[in-house]
């Protein structure tokens, strides 16, 4: 399977809106929808984030199929926060998140010149924590059931 990332575009909302309403995707995240997300909601969100200079938001593509999103947000002072989700559940557990993350971290270092990337993950999301450790993230703290992890990109 060929994995790549590309910048999000407005038309991605027509696919990603269905992912916003799959509880399994959000069970282990800090950011959970508090109601059913509509296409209008998703279009409004994507229009807003596409003009946010402090973030870089990408679609994850596998063999020409849009299957999820990966982001860097809050970019400042040589660091950013990492986010990822695979919306197409048939692609879970296939190593795609690792490959997409490697591409994003390389972009963070080589294109944006970032020195550090951090993330927050639910302490019970063992699969994600294992992935982040493989990528080189290290645990820094735990707060309200969420583990903060970070990676230095200097040696990446």
Q: Which residues are catalytic?
A: 132
CA proximity to 38, closest of 21, 59, 51: 21
3-state secondary structure of 33: coil
- DSSP letter, residue 72: E
Give the pair of three-digit tokens for residue 28. 């282990």
Task: Provide the CA 109 distance to its chain's centre, in angstroms.
Answer: 16
Please say whether the beta carbons of 68 and 98 come within 8 A.
no
- DSSP letter, residue 32: -
Please say whether the beta carbons of 119 and 132 come within 8 A.
yes
Please say whether the beta carbons of 147 and 139 come within 8 A.
yes
3-class SS string, 5-41: EEECCHHHHHHHHHHCCCHHHHCCCCCCCCCCCCHHH
């Amino acid at each position: 399977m060929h994995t790549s990332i590309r910048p999000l575009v407005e038309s991605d909302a027509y696919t990603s809106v269905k992912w916003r309403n799959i509880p399994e995707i959000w069970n282990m995240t800090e950011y959970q929808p508090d109601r059913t997300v509509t296409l209008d909601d998703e279009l409004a969100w994507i229009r807003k984030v596409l003009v946010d200079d402090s973030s870089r938001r990408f679609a994850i593509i596998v063999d020409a199929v849009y299957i999820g999103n990966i982001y860097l947000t809050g970019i400042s002072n040589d660091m950013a926060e990492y986010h990822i989700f695979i919306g197409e559940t048939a692609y879970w557990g296939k190593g795609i998140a690792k490959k997409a993350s490697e591409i994003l971290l390389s972009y963070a270092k080589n294109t944006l010149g970032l020195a550090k990337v951090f993330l927050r993950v639910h302490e019970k999301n063992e699969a994600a924590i294992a992935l982040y450790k493989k990528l080189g993230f290290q645990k820094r703290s735990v707060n309200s059931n969420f583990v903060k992890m970070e990676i230095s990109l200097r040696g990446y």
